[in-house]
Amino acid sequence: MALAQAGDHEAYRELLENLSASLSAFLRRRLFDPDEVADVLQETLMTLHRARHTYDPARPFEPWVFAIARHVLTDHVRRRARRGRVEVLADVELPDVSASEPAASEDLLLRALEQLPHGQREAFTMLKLEGLSVAAAAARAGVTHGALKVRAHRAYKALRALLARQ
Amino acid sequence: MSPQTDDRISRLIEEIVQDARPVRRLWPPAIRLSAWFVILLATTSVVVVAGLRPGVVQRLESAAFLGELVCLSAATGAAAWIALRAAIPGLESGFRRSLLVGSTVGGLGFVLSLVQTRFAAGIPLTDFVRTGIHCTLASIVIAVVPAWTLVWAVGRGVAYRPAWAGATGGLAASIWTYVLMQLRCRLDETAHVIVWHGGPLVAVTAASAALAVVIARARHARGTTL
């Protein structure tokens, strides 16, 4: 790490590759979903990179690394708990068009979906039709969790308005 | 992990490595604390040069006042130490225990400071406010530099809870400001000390917490180049 702090790219690459294996094992013991493990591992590596100036070579390396991993993991678990609540609320708010006339309502929904901007349509499709988690959908769309949730929320609102009109 | 995930991690590592410029290592907390004490000493010197209350030397002979000074100095050091360590991953352990010890010693110092005051009934509100505003402004002016430097020092690290770390840093600066005001202010009236000397302590602590969060967010935003 001391070499990485000095800007040695090769040493840094080797360190991160070695670390990703042990961090992945650490995270797998605490998270069950492999997508979540990958998300938290990525976030941990980025945080470690941003915090690399705080490492003191006079101190042991592992407590520093795993403290960062624990913080990222704790944040992730908290965000997931909050997101869970938001998603449940969003589900409740969604118009239940499929209950009465499944075929007709599906057609209505698809037509309404076509009118949405690409980002909103993609967010809705991944979360509601494909059943992906927010983390997985955000990774696939290449946006942050927050941005994906905003898109999904806008999609719900727009769909609700469109379906109410029809 | 799946091959796609492995690929994603490998790409991320490559991006991180490409982004890796040499960084200036953070000084260890003990050295940063010593540097902060130098700032505190400079602030104290300015306050002494600006003028202390009459009879300070006689006051220093009082056991209660000496006890107050010792307790509040220890609480200042403890709070600054906690704040600086809170900004370095892996050094935050023992945060609650240190906070408990620091608050007990600090609390004892405040009790000792209040024991030396007397409650004066019947002070007109306008007088109470006029003299008090002066002390509050003086407290804020004295606390600004030590609080700002300590919060900035905390912001150089990566505090997991920036608000707490910032608040602890602000508390350290404002406890010492409280001590300096005890050496400067002529009024030993209980309500005056609680409201006008204690009030800025709370305000500076809250402002430091907010500032630490702002600094942490700004640094995080600047650091997200990946």
A142: left (phi over 0), alpha (psi -120 to 50) or beta: left
Domain range A2-81, its CATH number among 3.40.190.10, 3.40.50.620, 1.10.1740.10, 3.40.605.10: 1.10.1740.10
The DSSP bridge partners found for residue A13 are none
DSSP letter (8 states) at residue A142: T
Of A9, A20, A17, A11, the C-alpha closest to A43 is A20
Indicate the domain borders of chain A: 2-81, 94-165
Using a CB-CB cut-off of 8 Å, the residues of chain B touching A9 are 17-18, 20
CB count in 10 Å sphere of residue A67: 18
Burial of B12 (0-12, 13-18, 19+ CB in 10 A): buried
What does pLDDT average to over chain B?
88
Q: Would you place residue B174 in the very low, low, confident or very high pLDDT band (cuts 50, 70, 90)?
A: very high
Predicted local confidence at residue B4, as pLDDT = 64
Q: What CATH code is assigned to A94-165?
A: 1.10.10.10
Contact A95, A164 (CB under 8 A): yes
Q: Tokens for A51? A: 């915090």
Who contacts A132 (Cβ-Cβ below 8 Å, separation ≥6)?
A126, A140
- What are A34-51's pLDDT values in tens digits? 888 888 898 899 889 888
- Nearest residue in A to B21, CA atom: A7
- Looking up tokens 């991006």 gives B15
What does the DSSP assignment read for B119-156?
--TT--HHHHHHHHHHHHHHHHHHHHHHHHHHHHHHHH
State how far the Cα of A25 lies from the Cα of A41, in Å rounded to an integer.
Answer: 10
Q: Would you place residue A86 in the very low, low, confident or very high pLDDT band (cuts 50, 70, 90)?
A: low
Residue from the list A7, A34, A54 with its beta carbon closest to the beta carbon of B1: A34
Using a CB-CB cut-off of 8 Å, the residues of chain B touching A145 are none
B16 membership: H or E segment, kind and range: helix B3-19
More confident residue, A95 or B187: B187
- What are A131-163's pLDDT values in tens digits? 777 777 777 777 777 778 888 888 888 888 888
pTM above 0.90, yes or no: no
Burial of A160 (0-12, 13-18, 19+ CB in 10 A): middle
Q: Residues B153-167: what's their mean pLDDT?
A: 89
State how far the Cα of B151 lies from the Cα of B213, in Å rounded to an integer.
Answer: 10
- Looking up tokens 């260890």 gives B28
Which of B8, B21, B23 would you mutate first to test chain A, the one with the most A CBs within 10 A? B23
Distance from CA of A119 to the nearest CA of B (A): 22
How many residue contacts between A and B have a Cβ separation below 8 Å?
93
Asked if B2 has any chain A CB less than 8 Å from its own CB, the reply is yes
Asked if B222 has any chain A CB less than 8 Å from its own CB, the reply is no
Predicted local confidence at residue B5, as pLDDT = 67
Who contacts A21 (Cβ-Cβ below 8 Å, separation ≥6)?
none
More confident residue, A64 or B224: A64
Whether B11 has a pLDDT exceeding 50, the answer reads yes
Whether B225 has a pLDDT exceeding 60, the answer reads no
State how far the Cα of B209 lies from the Cα of B164, in Å rounded to an integer.
Answer: 6
Asked if B7 has any chain A CB less than 8 Å from its own CB, the reply is no
Using a CB-CB cut-off of 8 Å, the residues of chain B touching A35 are 5
Q: Between chains, do A46 and B12 touch, taking CB under 8 Å as contact? A: yes
Whether B180 has a pLDDT exceeding 70, the answer reads yes
Contact B163, B202 (CB under 8 A): no
Q: Would you place residue A97 in the very low, low, confident or very high pLDDT band (cuts 50, 70, 90)?
A: very low
Same fold yes or no, A2-81 and A94-165 = no
Of A140, A121, A118, A124, the C-alpha closest to A87 is A124
- Looking up tokens 């869970």 gives A84
Which of the residue ranges A69-83, A104-118, B152-166 would you say has the lowest mean pLDDT?
Answer: A104-118
Who contacts A165 (Cβ-Cβ below 8 Å, separation ≥6)?
none
Q: What is the ipTM of this complex?
A: 0.76
Predicted local confidence at residue B119, as pLDDT = 84
Contact B16, A46 (CB under 8 A): yes
State how far the Cα of B174 lies from the Cα of B168, in Å rounded to an integer.
Answer: 10
Which of the residue ranges A4-18, A44-58, A118-132, B58-72 would you say has the lowest mean pLDDT?
Answer: A118-132
Which of B4, B13, B156 would you mutate first to test chain A, the one with the most A CBs within 10 A? B13
Distance from CA of A158 to the nearest CA of B (A): 31
